């Protein structure tokens, strides 16, 4: 089977690494890819948001499955364009991708499906939004309604922080058009967890859960990021919770999306708060999380490719996934300054030494090939250092040993990944 994987980050590196293990695969391309993916896939210079370019390449090369990594091409209609060309695509239509493209849309669907979530209001006017938070009080959550690369959420501990967030998002437009409106929610308390389910429009197959670390600093301090590390499985997310989330969230939401004429195919990422009264939905994403995807792929024992194809074709009947009991952990190594402005182009040494540590896998997230052939930093989150072991503490020790083997003074990481579990 010929496959085109779309994207060029750590999530796509993890997916590519898993896809090439399938005996069904005959050829894998990745657009645009990265130096890590290039070790086992053909990287093509087509941007992830160039929908005509991607579909054109797929048609010209006999691609039998397109796998969408990031959310942007899905919200721009990649799956729709593939369907018109007669090519199966793993990922939802643009209409179904609104589950990530608009937080207000997600809230409306959750309410209609009767799924547990936080109380909320949507605002187009910053004055009205500020008036609302003054009435509600703090702590309170302010979210840019649109896509903001995982950075459009502020958990405000004080009214001053909430009002500043409204000004930044709606007036200064720090997240661009995504901040034309905001969703303001009650602040739920508990541990967060990320749960994933494969969907075919009607049915859903549970995958596994992970716990991400959104804050940039140790002890969950500093601004939110796209994710500074993850581990799987989180002890707080029990099998009973998985069954509850499937019954009370995933299945009713699939039914509601089908009722609206936008059946959801692909992977549904359910962001959860594990509260004292049970799991409640924070948000949906319509693709694998990053770095959670890296942690999940390291634990997945089943062949991923036929499951992706079954989802894309709309028939997951008979699909079951097997997971290793060994936990996995991923430490993100980011460029200094992240999640703000970062320095790009710095060479990264020690990659082979890090990868040689038993149980370790190095995923490239924001890297490029320098003029001299060396791997250089090209983004904010640059590497995902993953490890598996019979227990979480040993996995963490291996991952941090690999981080310390790197020769990159411009990089930094959190040193407390999985602190809640350990």
pLDDT, tens digit (0-9, with 9 covering 90-100), for 132-169: 999 999 999 999 998 876 678 888 999 999 999 999 99
Structure tokens, 213: 């670390």
**What Rg value do the Cα atoms of the chain yield, rounded?**
20
What pTM did the predictor assign?
A: 0.94
Q: Which residues of the chain have pLDDT under 50?
A: none
**Ranges of CATH 3.30.470.20 domains, the chain:** 191-313
> Do 27 and 42 touch, CB atoms closer than 8 A?
yes
Integer Cα distance of 8 and 158 in angstroms: 38
Rounded Cα distance, 245 and 280, in Å: 9
The tokens of 89 are what?
A: 């695509």
Query: Which CATH superfamily, name and number, covers 191-313?
Result: ATP-grasp fold, B domain (3.30.470.20)
The CATH number that domain 2-91 falls under is: 3.40.50.20
Residue 148: the pLDDT is: 77
- Would you state the structure tokens that stand for residue 383, as one six-digit string? 């590497």
Q: Where in the chain is the domain with CATH 3.90.600.10?
A: 328-412
The CATH number assigned to the domain with range 328-412 reads 3.90.600.10
Q: What is the pLDDT of residue 347?
A: 96
Pair 399, 370: CB distance under 8 Å: no
pLDDT of residue 150: 66
Could you give the dihedral angle defined by the CA atoms of residues 170, 171, 172 and 176, in that order, rounded to the nearest 10 degrees? 40
Q: Which CATH class is domain 119-186?
A: alpha beta
């Amino acid at each position: 089977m010929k496959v085109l994987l779309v994207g060029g980050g750590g999530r796509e590196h993890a997916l590519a690494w898993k896809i090439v293990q399938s005996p069904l695969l005959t050829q894998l391309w990745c657009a645009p890819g990265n130096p890590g993916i290039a070790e086992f896939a053909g990287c093509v210079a087509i941007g992830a948001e160039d929908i005509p370019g991607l579909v054109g390449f797929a048609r010209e090369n006999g691609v039998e499955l397109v796998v969408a990594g990031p959310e942007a091409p899905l919200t721009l209609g990649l799956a729709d364009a593939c369907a018109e060309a007669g090519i199966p695509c793993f990922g939802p239509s643009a209409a179904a991708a609104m589950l990530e493209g608009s937080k207000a849309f997600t809230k409306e669907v959750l309410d209609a499906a009767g799924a547990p979530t936080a109380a909320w209001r949507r605002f187009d006017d910053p004055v009205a939004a500020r008036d609302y938070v003054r009435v509600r009080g703090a702590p309170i959550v302010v979210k840019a309604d649109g896509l903001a690369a995982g950075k459009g959420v502020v958990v405000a501990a004080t009214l001053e922080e909430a009002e500043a967030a409204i000004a930044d998002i709606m007036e200064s437009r720090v997240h661009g058009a995504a901040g034309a409106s905001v969703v303001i929610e009650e602040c739920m308390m508990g541990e967060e967890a990320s749960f994933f389910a494969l969907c075919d429009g009607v049915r859903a197959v549970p995958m596994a859960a992970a716990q991400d670390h959104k804050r940039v600093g140790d002890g969950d301090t500093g601004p939110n990021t796209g994710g500074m590390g993850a581990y799987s499985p989180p002890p707080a997310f029990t099998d009973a919770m998985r069954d509850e989330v499937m019954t009370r969230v995933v299945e009713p939401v699939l039914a509601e999306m089908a009722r609206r004429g936008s059946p959801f195919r692909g992977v549904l990422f359910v962001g959860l708060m594990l509260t004292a009264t049970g799991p409640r939905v924070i948000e949906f994403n319509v693709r694998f999380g990053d770095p959670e995807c890296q942690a999940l792929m390291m634990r997945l024992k089943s062949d991923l490719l036929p499951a992706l194809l079954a989802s894309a074709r709309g028939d997951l009947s008979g699909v079951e996934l097997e997971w290793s009991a060994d936990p996995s952990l991923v430490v993100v190594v980011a460029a200094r300054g992240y999640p703000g402005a970062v320095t790009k182009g710095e060479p990264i040494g020690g990659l082979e030494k890090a990868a040689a540590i038993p149980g370790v896998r190095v995923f490239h997230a924001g890297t490029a090939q320098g003029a001299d052939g060396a791997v250089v930093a090209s983004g904010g989150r640059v590497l995902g250092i993953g490890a598996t072991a019979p227990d979480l503490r040993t996995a963490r020790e291996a991952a941090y040993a690999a981080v310390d083997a790197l020769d990159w003074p411009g990089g930094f990481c959190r040193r407390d990944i999985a602190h809640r579990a350990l």
